[in-house]
Structure formats: C-alpha cells, structure tokens
C-alpha cells in the first residue's frame, strides 16, 4: 500500500510539472481560438449541447492540471474524479467555475456528439484511472477526466480529438487543436484581451 501511495505521489508530481510547462502555451491557444471563431458567440454557454467538452483550469487538488467534463443535458455533465470515479455532475460550470472553456470536435455533427454523450453515461460508476500514460486504450474499464471524453468520441465516432498524441492527455489538450474548436469562453484575463 505504501508503494502505491509513493507511486501515485510521484505521478501527481510529474503531471503537475509537465502541465506547468504546457501552461505556457495556454494563452496562445485561447487567443488563436478567439481569432478563428469570429462567427461564434463565445459568451453564450452551450447548456444544451450534448457531447460538448467542458474544460476548466480550476482544480483545488492540482491547480495546474485542470479538469474536464462532457455536457449530457441542460442539468448534467459526466466527469471523472479520483474520489468518485465516473459520475454525474451539475451543468453549471458557467457559474461555478472561475474559468470555463467549451469546445467541440470540428468534424462531428451534433447528432454524433449526442452518441458520445450517451456512451459516456454507460460508464457511470466506473473507477478512476491512475495510469495517465495509457489514455489511448479504447477498451479501458477505468477513466480519468480527459480520457473518458477522448474515448467517448473515439468509440462512437471513430474520431481522435487529441491528434497531437501527447504523452499524457490533459484537459487543456481539448481547448484548441486541429480537431476541436472553442465555442464558449469564461476567463476574465482572456476576455479583456
């Protein structure tokens, strides 16, 4: 048991260290997303967009890692945490979080996003995955927050929404890449730019 705690502690330290480095790229991703989405109202929270990906840098346990969830309906999201595993959460990130970004896969219709949301609901009560390096396992039985979102789209739509294939899939990897685009933004420091 002691070895497991030490291993988990080392993994968390490594994750935090890696993500601090990747945070330097964060401002550029947000600004890039804003300039390429001039027709989208970034201030409208997409409460009813089943399958939309929520990302926040708010994380009381590991503030540099962030958190991700997927909108299910106007009241619920799916998320995975180390304390509860895969579970429902309230769809109130536009109010409850200091920072909130919502992105969607560029090549996926709303109907297919709905399929990804339905698949993720079938994972409720599955355990949390501490093996952060094995996120591309489409047959996983445990999930961390970013992993369940990637797997939902990969399994239901055969779409890789993390095409850069990072060593560890962080929530920030869904903010803006060639496969996703931002449709909502709540972050005071970026809204002023």
User: What fold is seen in the domain 2-191?
Assistant: endopeptidase fold (from Nostoc punctiforme) (3.90.1720)
The per-residue pLDDT for 58 is 81
Q: Which of 183, 147, 190 is nearest to 15 (CA)?
A: 147
Strand order in the sheet with 67-71: 85-90, 76-81, 67-71, 53-56, 100-105, 180-186
pLDDT at 192: 46
In this predicted structure, what is the pLDDT of residue 35? 41
Mean pLDDT (10-residue bins), the chain, 193 residues: 57 52 47 51 91 87 79 98 95 93 92 96 96 91 96 95 91 88 79 47
Output the pLDDT for position 11.
Answer: 58
Domain locations in the chain as residue ranges = 2-191
72 three-class SS: coil
- Tell me the pTM: 0.81
């Amino acid at each position: 048991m002691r070895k497991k705690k030490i291993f988990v502690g080392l993994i968390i330290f490594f994750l935090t260290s890696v993500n601090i480095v990747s945070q330097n790229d964060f401002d550029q991703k947000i600004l890039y997303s804003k300039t390429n989405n001039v027709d989208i109202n970034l201030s409208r929270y997409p409460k009813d967009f089943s399958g939309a990906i929520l990302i926040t840098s708010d994380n009381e346990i590991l503030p540099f890692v962030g958190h991700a969830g997927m909108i299910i309906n106007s009241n619920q999201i799916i998320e995975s945490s180390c304390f509860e595993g895969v579970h429902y959460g309230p769809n109130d990130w536009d109010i409850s979080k200091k920072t909130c970004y919502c992105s969607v896969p560029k090549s996926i219709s709303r109907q297919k996003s709905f399929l990804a949301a339905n698949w993720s609901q079938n994972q409720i009560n599955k355990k949390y995955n501490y093996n952060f390096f094995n996120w591309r396992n489409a047959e996983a039985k445990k999930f961390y927050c970013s992993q369940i979102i990637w797997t939902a789209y990969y399994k239901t739509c055969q779409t890789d929404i993390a095409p850069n294939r990072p060593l560890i899939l962080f929530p920030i990897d869904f903010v803006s890449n060639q496969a996703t685009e931002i449709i909502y933004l709540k972050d005071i420091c970026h809204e002023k730019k």
